[in-house]
Amino acid sequence: MLGDSNSSPAMHHLLETLILLTFLGVNLYGIKASGSSELLIVTVKVIILFLFAAIGLFYIKSNYVLPVFNQGYTGVLMGAALIFVAYEGFELIPNAINEMENPQHNLKPAIVWSIAVTIAIYVLVSLVAVGNLLPDEIQKYKEYALAVAAKPFLGQAGFLLIGLAALFSTASAINATMFGTARLGMIMAREQALPTAFGFRRQQNNIPWVSLVIITLATLAFVNLGNLTIISSFASSTFLLIFAAINLSALRLRERIACGIAGPLLGLILSLASWSALAVYLWNTNRENLLWIGIIYVSVIVAELLFSQR
């Protein structure tokens, strides 16, 4: 949106750092500020994307879209595993259970509706994007391919509008992740699974400020030292392993939590299958990223073992 002729790495780092520090401030200010900003950002984002999809459907070039699986099926599975992190927002909802009204009633429909709405948006937007851009163009424009896809039927204004929606989308993800993960860190500190400092809260508004600051610093390191591919690969890999562990836990506790064997078993198998697809994809295309993911996992495991031993 600012033009790329004179862009520099310093500007990228400045903007990456600025957005994180901005939402750190919002979350430190209070729960109401975080919730209100999230509601506003998500509402604007969803409206823009649905309008883009609704108008763009009339301009799709059928020869761009069909046949759907002309490149084979394995690429679809590997692509799904790679971008799984984009779908995992629903996993953050239970982290806010202490701030939720009537969680026994609201938690389940909140998760189901969030998944349903996300699927609808992603499928429609992807269809319009692929129907307006060739694969080589998507590869060329990468992160802002969606904004370029809006140009044929919305012009330069469409490019800016989708660029704005992308910024809003990223902002809402940052805000929600900070909100949910900071509280998860606080609860883990109470259970002595993390250092006690993660549980420190401000007396005025009960905000877990130490947890928020540590998470933000870790994120700043990731975005300023890594690239988008390694960040998304690491995040998708981690969430797939987390969901595999959750399904395994549900399987082992099925009598206590009164659930059948089929759901958790299927979830476990599909999570591990998706993770395997991601690992194979990275092995074939970018072994350096796979190595970095392995190094991060080893570092986390060592840190956990040292902490638990202490």
Number of other CB atoms surrounding residue 258 within 10 Å: 7
In sequence order, which residues have a C-beta less than 8 Å from that of residue 230 and are 6 or more positions away? 289, 292, 293
Mean pLDDT along residues 110-116 = 88
Of the pLDDT bands very low, low, confident and very high (cuts 50, 70, 90), residue 6 is low
Number of other CB atoms surrounding residue 277 within 10 Å: 20
The Cα 171–Cα 41 span in angstroms is 8
Residues 14-42 pLDDT 10s: 988 999 999 898 888 877 777 788 888 88
Flag whether pLDDT at 110 surpasses 80: yes
Residues 77-106 pLDDT 10s: 877 777 777 777 777 778 777 777 888 888
C-alpha closest to that of 180 among 211, 203, 223, 204:
211
For residues 162 and 47, the answer to whether their CB atoms sit within 8 Å is no
Mean pLDDT along residues 297-304 = 91
pTM across the whole model: 0.72
* CATH class for the region spanning 9-225: mainly alpha
Of the pLDDT bands very low, low, confident and very high (cuts 50, 70, 90), residue 4 is low
So what's the pLDDT on residue 299? 92
Mean pLDDT along residues 169-173 = 84
The Cα 252–Cα 246 span in angstroms is 10
C-alpha closest to that of 218 among 181, 168, 164, 259:
181
The Cα 250–Cα 247 span in angstroms is 5
The Cα 107–Cα 157 span in angstroms is 38
So what's the pLDDT on residue 40? 87
C-alpha closest to that of 293 among 214, 238, 218, 225:
238
In sequence order, which residues have a C-beta less than 8 Å from that of residue 26 and are 6 or more positions away? 33, 34, 37, 175
So what's the pLDDT on residue 217? 93
So what's the pLDDT on residue 5? 62
Q: Average pLDDT of the chain?
A: 85
C-alpha closest to that of 23 among 169, 179, 166:
179
So what's the pLDDT on residue 246? 92
Of the pLDDT bands very low, low, confident and very high (cuts 50, 70, 90), residue 230 is confident
Of the pLDDT bands very low, low, confident and very high (cuts 50, 70, 90), residue 61 is confident
So what's the pLDDT on residue 266? 94
Residue 216 gets the label, from left (phi > 0), alpha (psi -120 to 50) or beta, of alpha
Q: pLDDT > 90: what percent of the chain?
A: 16
Q: pLDDT > 70: what percent of the chain?
A: 98
So what's the pLDDT on residue 158? 84
Domain ranges of the chain: 9-225, 227-310
C-alpha closest to that of 184 among 308, 114, 94:
94
Flag whether pLDDT at 310 surpasses 90: no
Mean pLDDT along residues 284-299 = 90
So what's the pLDDT on residue 223? 87
The Cα 51–Cα 26 span in angstroms is 29
Residues 180-225 pLDDT 10s: 888 888 888 888 888 888 888 887 777 888 999 999 999 999 888 8
Least confident of 46-50, 54-58, 87-91: 87-91
